[in-house]
Structure formats: C-alpha cells, structure tokens
Amino acid sequence: MKYIEMSTDERRALLSELKAKYNEFKARDMTLNMARGKPSGAQLDISMGMMDVLASDSDLTCEDGTDCRNYGVLDGLPEAKKLLGDMMEVPADNIIIYGNSSLNVMYDTISRCMTHGVMGHTPWGKLPAVKFLCPVPGYDRHFAITEHFGIEMINVPMLPTGPDMDIVEKLVSSDPAIKGIWCVPKYSNPQGYSYSDETVRRFARLNPAAEDFRIFWDNAYCGHHLYPDDPDVVLEILDECRRAGNADMVYKFSSTSKISFPGSGISAIAASLNNLKEIRHQLGIQTIGHDKVNQLRHVRFFGDIEGMRLHMIKHADILRPKFEKVLEILERELGGLGIGEWTNPKGGYFISFDGMEGTAKDIVALCKKAGVIMTDAGATYPYHKDPRDCNIRIAPSYPPIDDLALATELFTLCVKIVSLKKLINE
Amino acid sequence: MKYIEMSTDERRALLSELKAKYNEFKARDMTLNMARGKPSGAQLDISMGMMDVLASDSDLTCEDGTDCRNYGVLDGLPEAKKLLGDMMEVPADNIIIYGNSSLNVMYDTISRCMTHGVMGHTPWGKLPAVKFLCPVPGYDRHFAITEHFGIEMINVPMLPTGPDMDIVEKLVSSDPAIKGIWCVPKYSNPQGYSYSDETVRRFARLNPAAEDFRIFWDNAYCGHHLYPDDPDVVLEILDECRRAGNADMVYKFSSTSKISFPGSGISAIAASLNNLKEIRHQLGIQTIGHDKVNQLRHVRFFGDIEGMRLHMIKHADILRPKFEKVLEILERELGGLGIGEWTNPKGGYFISFDGMEGTAKDIVALCKKAGVIMTDAGATYPYHKDPRDCNIRIAPSYPPIDDLALATELFTLCVKIVSLKKLINE
C-alpha cells in the first residue's frame, strides 16, 4: 500500500513499529560505509599479481628502447598510450598518459584554462564570469573543482539518456560565459545511466557561443560493466566531434583507478592533436614526466586490452552480487510504497536514490545515528544544494555483502521512517 | 701561458693546431651528452632491489592500518612522512608527500599562488605585476615555471656563499611585487655551491614588503654528497625562519628522484603548519591522494634515513670519479690559460663553467658540431639570456667515464678555439 494512501492512524502505527525496529538496529552498534565508490579488498586482491611483474632482474626498457627508470618521456610510454588508448577507444596518438589520478588531470586542466586560457583565448581567470553546466545529480568532486576556481555552476537535469540536451544546447549556444560541462557518459555517477547515441551526437554537434567551450568527458567507468555479456555502449565522443567539425571541443579523461589500484594506477587525457599540443607545452613546464615504471607495470600486467577486459570480468563478478543485493532489498522494502525511486545500473559504482522531496538530509542523518555512513545528502549537487533535498547516492562496492545487506536494510528503514514523519506532519 | 699574453701570431699558430685536433675529434663521429643531470645506468642499478620489496604475497598495509592499495590518505603515509622528513631535516608533521616529481610540486605551488593567492592575500594572477628573484646562474626549469606564469624575473648574482644577500634584502624589503625567490641551497644548480650559515640566517630574517612573499627552497640535493665523510652542511631553513618569527615564509621541496628512480620516486613539500593547512585544502580538491604503494615501496626499501644514507654512498662512489675526471681535465687543459673558470663542487649534479665574455654560445655550438651535447648556453639564466654569454653548465653524471673524459677534452678544445678566435678578432 502506498504511504500516501494510508490514514494518519495507520501511518502512526507503522511509524511506531518501524522505530522499534530502528532501535534494534541501532543497538547492534554497527559501523558501515556506503559513502564512497571504493573497491573492496577482494577487488584489490585480483590485482596483486601486478606486484610481481617487475622484479630486480626485469628489463625495465620499454618498446622504443627507453630506460623507464630514468628521466624522460613527457607524455607516456608508447605501449601505455596504446593500452589506455584502446581502453578509451581512441588512437594512441590522441593520448597523454598522466600520473595516478584522473581527478588531478581534470583539476590541472581547469587550472590551465584559468591561468593560460584555451588556444589563445583569454584565460578564464581574467574573465568577469565563467560558467559550467553541471548535469545533476552528478559527481561531487567535479563540482568541488569548479567551485574551487570560482566557476559558476548551472544545474542541468539528467535524464536516463544523459543530460537534457534541449537545455544544454540552448544554454551553450546562447551564453559565451559557459565554458564547459561535466559529463560522466557511461554508468554515470550516481545514476549509472549511459548516454544515448542521440545525446552523444547532439554533444558533438553543439554550437557554443564560446569558442573556448570544452566538454569535460570523464570516462571513469568505460570498462566497468556489471554484465560483461550485455555492456552499455556509448558512442566515442572524439570521433563524433571530429565528424561534426568540432574536433577540438572535447577533453576525455580516464584512469585505471578502479581497474588496478586506486591511487596507484595510471591516468590519461584523450583529445585532438591541437589540444594535445597545447597541453604538452604546459606539461613540459610542469614536470619532466610521469611515473614510467608504473606505466610499464600496468602494460606488463594487463598485456593488452583483451587482458584488461578479462580482468574487468573479475571485478564484475565481485561487484554484481552486491548491486543485485542492494536492488533486491530496495525493491523488497520500498517497492510500491511511493516514497522513493532508484536507478538500476548495468555498470559503474553507484545507485542513485530519490526519496520524497525534503527527506534526503534526514534519511542520511538517521542512517548515521545507527552507524551507517551514506554520501552526504546534497553532495551530488553543485554547492551541496539539492534543491529538492531528495537525492542520495548509494555506493555498494566496499562493504562485504552481508554488511551491505544490513546497511541497505537500515537505509530502507530510515527512508520509511523519515517519509512517514513527513507525511504525518503534512 | 695566458692566452691574453700571447702575440697574435702565437694565437694564430695555436688556433690552427687546435683546429686540426678538433677535426680529428669530429671525424670520430661521437654522440655524447653532458646536458642534463641524469643518473647513469649504474646508479639506477643500485635501486633495483626496490622492485622486489613489494610482491603479490606482501602485506600492503601501512603502520596506521591503511590498505595502501585503496583510495585515501591525502597527504602521505605516516612512515613516508617520517622518512622524507628525516631526509629534509624537518618533523614529519611539517611534510606533505606528493607524487613523482618535486618540479610538479613547485609548479602546482606557483599555480595555486596565481589562482588562489597565499593565506588570504590577493591571488598573484589578479595583481598588475608579480616578480621573482632568480639567483644566477640557476636552474632552467625553475625559470621556465615563473616565465610560464608571466612572472617577471630579476637576476641576483650567486656568490660561493649563496645569493648576494645585500641585493636580496634590499629588493625584497622595498618592492611588494616581489613575491618569491628560487633557491637551491645545497650543491646549487649549476655551481654546486652550498649556502653559508650567514646566508641562511639572513634569508630567515628577511623583512619582505610583500606579506605573501615566499622563499622557494628547492632542497634537491640534500643528501647528494660526493664526499660523504666531508659533506656540506646547510642550516635548516624552516627552523631558522621559525626562530626569526617568519615561520610561514618558506616552502621547502625535495624528492627521491636521484636517490631511487627519476620519474618514479616520491616527492614532498615541507612548510609551516599554517602553510600546510592551506596546501592540504587545495590538494583535497585536486586529488584523492598520491601513490601510496610507491610510498610504501620506498619506505620498505630504505627502511629509514640511515638506510638512505648508506644508499647515497653508493651513488657517491659512482659519481665522484666522474666529477674528479672532469675537474682533472679542465685543470690540465685550461688551468692557467685565463680563458675560463669553473666550480669545484662537493656534491650535487653539476659543475658551472664561466668562459670569456661572449663565448658560451659559440663553445656549445662548436661542441655540438663534433657530437657533444652541452646544456644550451643561456639556459642557466631567466629568459635564456646570459647577459655576458659566458656560463655553461656541465653535467658529468650520465655518460660512462671514458666517454665523459672524451667529451670533456672536446669541450676544453672548443673553449680554447672559441677563446682564441675571440682574442684574435679583438
């Protein structure tokens, strides 16, 4: 029965029953975390072989004869470019390999745009206003970067097909202060949506008022399928932009963070040759080069994209039951109650939950009191402001499955309690 | 006999003899490189044990229980802070561990000052003019960073005791646009000078017109003694600044680039707690954390600072004969001729050579024609402009010692030829 259809007395009776259940949970004194998209220990274990591929008797010379132990090679080993190029579905020539964090690459990219501008245009930091479009809900760390640099963020609704392109097209073509948009095109954070072909084509055909407008295409979950036999497929954006005569309009980012070890992987930017030329110039001032030994370690461990694909199946086998468990409990506990909706991702690291308007903060707070840490309500919106206070990001990857089930049960209980209170007060 | 005391006929006769010798060299079709401060293969070999300290059966948990394979730990493992703190002679609390490149840390530091300013002061990028003092000759990559950000560079002469502090004090205290100074305090690049106690104390007691003035103290060669039994000792600048009531005035940088593997080491910034608080805030936007597995690898390999000290003795044993060979040839070939002077470093990676005014470019060009690559003349000065065109940086580390001897002989020959030509033309 939908809560909205209950009488006030029925609601009160149910609430009192649920509160008793909540107190039982609380008494168990749990500490569970569903806040961050961290791989579990089991996922990390499958990459331990990486620790053995380079040993003291290994030849650390790469394909072109470079001694990977010494200085040099600004933009990455050829074989690392090939591997990450294949992973990102672009030619190796369109790749620069970076250090351990694609977030860092995105930060540095925005920072460079602020101080030096894009291809001869005024540095963003010298302009009276710079704006970014932010599909919402979205990734908190993206929004933190643009906020840090004082860039004004404009919310754009996410649809199951990607950002609402009617709005994106209208804004981008009319306001020259709009310099960029944050995108997680495949298994989006937090919904797990993948952009439709039409969405990607409309992105590639944007007609921005600002010549230095760039799409920030964070391909964080390109190979992170939960169902490797039935993967989401997203059109390759560099190629689409090139066909549309907008070759320079996109920066694409990715890393092996959730493939090998988060924090000890390798990352990359993919872009047009014009963009890479500009980036390489700045990079040559910033560093002599990134960690080539670690690049070589990744290449030797995975071998090639097929090796990486097989490795991702192992990740999927660990993650899939967790996602299914959470979704099963959400459906069992909340299905048909009319107090929440959630996404059903086929990959990535998150499930997006929308409760009734005005409940998200209270739900997260109630979870916390019983020892279950969720991503802060509001975190999925620029400035931490969810205008409807309804979105909560669920991260099923890190806890063991039994803990996860417990945490999800508690979460659903908190959703019910907060929703009932809301309905009773009204 | 000094060339200046020779008759024109004597000079001509000698020149013709030296040219013949030069042509013999040229006919050997050599390719030798004395341009960059790169460790040699033999030096890299002594760190190969680092490839074995972490294996697939290793426990990658650090002292405080953190799984180094996963996300987290923004500012470095406690044990890595301890190791690099000991190396940089500061408490672990004053350390943030970064990625593979201290140059990158310096770039990021300047970039942050440009976009966000220093402790609430106006971002440098919003000021009409920002100036840096540059002790000359100095490190080309420092100057490249400040040039990249449009910072005006002012030359300050280097003395054997460090930068000319009379000039530094006068400029820093009188011009609020002067926001920083580049320093390589120990075994300076390119001279190999180490700052005297008086110089360090005068630095710590500076009274800058700009409250957001910072000393950029690049302690690149802190443990790089050629004579470990007779090391240069430089006063610790953070401590001196603190005693002088200027605790926040300095950023200190270092890395293990020339200790373990260049490009695959770990780096750090050391600063006051106030500075670190500001830096940590920005760093938390830029990244989730640096490569902890590599931090752990370094800690497990070196053990502690004593282990690192013993390791540096191995480097010294490889480097010392090379420096001595170059210095021996310089003395044998150029001693007493009055056409050049050079430094006699006890550590670091370079020897600084000063030829007659107006000869450096020609010497480097002549070397190049015979297959010996030197650092570009002018590179040791801001904007690549050596006002006297006399300084050349010699990097003895990379070539095998026989090649090095050959290259140095050719270099001295080129010095003689260019100097004679200069004297004859005059």
> Does residue A174 sit at the B interface (CB-CB below 8 Å)?
no
pLDDT at A374: 96
Residue of B nearest to A147 (CA): B285
Q: Helix (H, G, I), strand (E, B), or coil: what is residue B152?
A: strand
> Does residue B99 sit at the A interface (CB-CB below 8 Å)?
yes
The pLDDT tens digits of the residues spanning B368-418 come to 999 999 999 999 999 999 999 999 999 999 999 999 999 999 999 999 999
Look-up: residue for tokens 């044993």?
B317
Neighbours of A418 (CB within 10 A): 23
CA A326 to chain centre: 19
- Which of B34-38, B115-119, B297-301 is least confident? B34-38
pLDDT at B425: 84
Tell me the nearest-neighbour CA distance from B83 into chain A, angstroms: 20
Mean pLDDT of B307-314: 98
Look-up: residue for tokens 């320093």?
B183
Residue of A nearest to B114 (CA): A115
Taking only residues 332 to 351 of chain A, the set having a beta carbon closer than 8 angstroms to any beta carbon of chain B reads none
Q: Is the pLDDT of residue A426 over 80?
A: no
Mean pLDDT of B117-140: 98
Q: Is the pLDDT of residue B156 over 70?
A: yes
Out of A44, A125, A149, name the one closest to residue B67 (CB): A44
Helices (H) and strands (E) in chain A — how many of each?
Answer: 13, 13
Under an 8 A CB cutoff, do A99 and B99 touch?
yes
**Alpha-carbon span A218 to A260, nearest angstrom:** 18
Given the cut 0.90, state whether the ipTM is greater than it: yes
Q: Contact at 8 Å (CB) between A296 and A77?
A: yes
Under an 8 A CB cutoff, do B104 and A294 touch?
no
Sign, CA dihedral A109-A114-A115-A120, equals positive
The two three-digit tokens of residue B225, written as one number: 């003694």
Under an 8 A CB cutoff, do B148 and A282 touch?
yes
The CA distances from residue A181 to A152, A156, A186, A214, A251, in Å, are 11, 10, 15, 7, 10
For residue B289, which residues of chain A lie inside 8 Å, CB to CB?
101, 263
* Phi, psi at B61, each rounded to 5°: -95, 135
For residue A58, which residues of chain B lie inside 8 Å, CB to CB?
51
Q: Which of A271, A225, A4, A239 is nearest to A118 (CA)?
A: A271
User: Which amino acid would we find at residue B339?
Assistant: I
The pLDDT tens digits of the residues spanning A26-51 come to 999 989 999 989 999 999 999 999 99
Mean pLDDT of A123-152: 98
Under an 8 A CB cutoff, do B69 and A144 touch?
no
Q: Is the pLDDT of residue B229 over 80?
A: yes
Q: Which of B173, B199, B172 is nearest to B185 (CA)?
A: B199
Tell me the nearest-neighbour CA distance from A399 into chain B, angstroms: 13
**Alpha-carbon span A290 to B104, nearest angstrom:** 10
> Does residue B280 sit at the A interface (CB-CB below 8 Å)?
no
For residue A72, which residues of chain B lie inside 8 Å, CB to CB?
38, 263
Q: Helix (H, G, I), strand (E, B), or coil: what is residue B15?
A: helix
> Does residue A33 sit at the B interface (CB-CB below 8 Å)?
no
Tell me the nearest-neighbour CA distance from A62 into chain B, angstroms: 14
The CA distances from residue B229 to B89, B166, B332, in Å, are 18, 33, 27
Neighbours of A25 (CB within 10 A): 20
Look-up: residue for tokens 């920030």?
A216
Out of A68, A115, A288, name the one closest to residue B115 (CB): A115
Under an 8 A CB cutoff, do B290 and A263 touch?
yes
SS3 per residue for B196-245: CHHHHHHHHCCCCCCCCCEEEEECCCCCCECCCCCCCCCCCHHHHHHHCC
Strands, E, within A212-368: which ranges? 214-218, 250-255, 267-270, 340-342, 351-355
Under an 8 A CB cutoff, do B288 and A263 touch?
yes
Under an 8 A CB cutoff, do A107 and B285 touch?
yes
β-bridge mates for residue A391, sequence order: A354
A interface test, pick of B50, B71, B143, B298 with most A CB neighbours within 10 Å: B71
**Alpha-carbon span A47 to A59, nearest angstrom:** 21
What is the number of alpha carbons within 13 Å of residue B58 lying toward its C-beta?
22
**Alpha-carbon span A147 to A382, nearest angstrom:** 8
**Alpha-carbon span B232 to A284, nearest angstrom:** 32
Out of A56, A264, A282, name the one closest to residue B293 (CB): A264
Interior/surface letters B352-373, b for 16+ CB within 10 angstroms, e for the rest: bbbbbeebbbbbbebbeebbbb
> Does residue B38 sit at the A interface (CB-CB below 8 Å)?
yes
What is the total residue count of chain A?
Answer: 426
Whole-model pTM above 0.90? yes
Cα-based angle A246, A250, A253 (whole degrees, multiple of 5): 155
For residue B52, which residues of chain A lie inside 8 Å, CB to CB?
55-56
Mean pLDDT of B200-204: 98
For residue A104, which residues of chain B lie inside 8 Å, CB to CB?
286-287
**Alpha-carbon span B180 to B172, nearest angstrom:** 9
What is the total residue count of chain B?
Answer: 426
Residue of B nearest to A290 (CA): B263
The pLDDT tens digits of the residues spanning B64-94 come to 999 999 999 999 999 999 999 999 999 999 9
> Does residue A289 sit at the B interface (CB-CB below 8 Å)?
yes
**Alpha-carbon span A98 to A3, nearest angstrom:** 51
> Does residue B54 sit at the A interface (CB-CB below 8 Å)?
yes
Under an 8 A CB cutoff, do B69 and A289 touch?
no
Q: Contact at 8 Å (CB) between A84 and A308?
A: no
CA B398 to chain centre: 15
Taking only residues 228 to 267 of chain A, the set having a beta carbon closer than 8 angstroms to any beta carbon of chain B reads 257, 261-264
For residue B287, which residues of chain A lie inside 8 Å, CB to CB?
100-101, 103-104, 107
Q: What percent of chain A shows pLDDT beyond 90? A: 98
> Any idea of the CA torsion for B220, B222, B226, B232, to the nearest 10 degrees?
130
Sign, CA dihedral B45-B328-B256-B225, equals positive
Under an 8 A CB cutoff, do B69 and A47 touch?
yes
- pLDDT band with cut points at 50, 70 and 90 for residue A325: very high
Interior/surface letters B9-40, b for 16+ CB within 10 angstroms, e for the rest: eebeebbeebeeebeebeeeeeebbbbbbbbb
For residue B58, which residues of chain A lie inside 8 Å, CB to CB?
51
> Any idea of the CA torsion for A190, A191, A196, A202, to the nearest 10 degrees?
-50
What secondary structure does DSSP assign to B271-338, as a single string? --HHHHHHHHHHHHHH-S---HHHHHHHHHHH-SHHHHHHHHHHHHHHHHHHHHHHHHHHHHHHTTSS
Q: Which of B93, B9, B18, B37 is nearest to B269 (CA)?
A: B93
Cα-based angle B250, B255, B261 (whole degrees, multiple of 5): 170
Tell me the nearest-neighbour CA distance from B364 into chain A, angstroms: 22
Q: Which of A57, A91, A79 is nearest to A296 (CA)?
A: A79
> Any idea of the CA torsion for B138, B141, B143, B146, to the nearest 10 degrees?
-150
For residue A115, which residues of chain B lie inside 8 Å, CB to CB?
111, 114-115, 125, 149
Q: Is the pLDDT of residue A289 over 70?
A: yes
For residue A282, which residues of chain B lie inside 8 Å, CB to CB?
148
For residue A68, which residues of chain B lie inside 8 Å, CB to CB?
263-264
Tell me the nearest-neighbour CA distance from A215 into chain B, angstroms: 19
B192: region left, alpha or beta (phi > 0 left; psi from -120 to 50 alpha)? left
- pLDDT band with cut points at 50, 70 and 90 for residue B426: low
Kindly report each contact of residues A8-13 with a partner whose C-beta sits within 8 Å and lies 24 or more positions away, as own/partner.
A8/A424, A11/A420, A11/A423, A11/A424, A12/A424
**Alpha-carbon span B184 to B37, nearest angstrom:** 14
The two three-digit tokens of residue B145, written as one number: 């960073």
**Alpha-carbon span B66 to B76, nearest angstrom:** 11
Residue of A nearest to B110 (CA): A286
For residue A55, which residues of chain B lie inside 8 Å, CB to CB?
51-52
Tell me the nearest-neighbour CA distance from B117 into chain A, angstroms: 12
Q: Is the pLDDT of residue B1 over 90?
A: no
A interface test, pick of B261, B267, B281 with most A CB neighbours within 10 Å: B261
Q: Helix (H, G, I), strand (E, B), or coil: what is residue B107?
A: helix
Look-up: residue for tokens 């920005």?
B282
Q: Helix (H, G, I), strand (E, B), or coil: what is residue B37?
A: coil
Residue of A nearest to B40 (CA): A70
For residue B257, which residues of chain A lie inside 8 Å, CB to CB?
71
β-bridge mates for residue B351, sequence order: B394
The two three-digit tokens of residue A55, written as one number: 């040993």
Residue B382, burial from CB neighbour count under 10 angstroms (0-12, 13-18, 19+): buried
For residue B282, which residues of chain A lie inside 8 Å, CB to CB?
148
Q: Helix (H, G, I), strand (E, B), or coil: what is residue A395?
A: coil
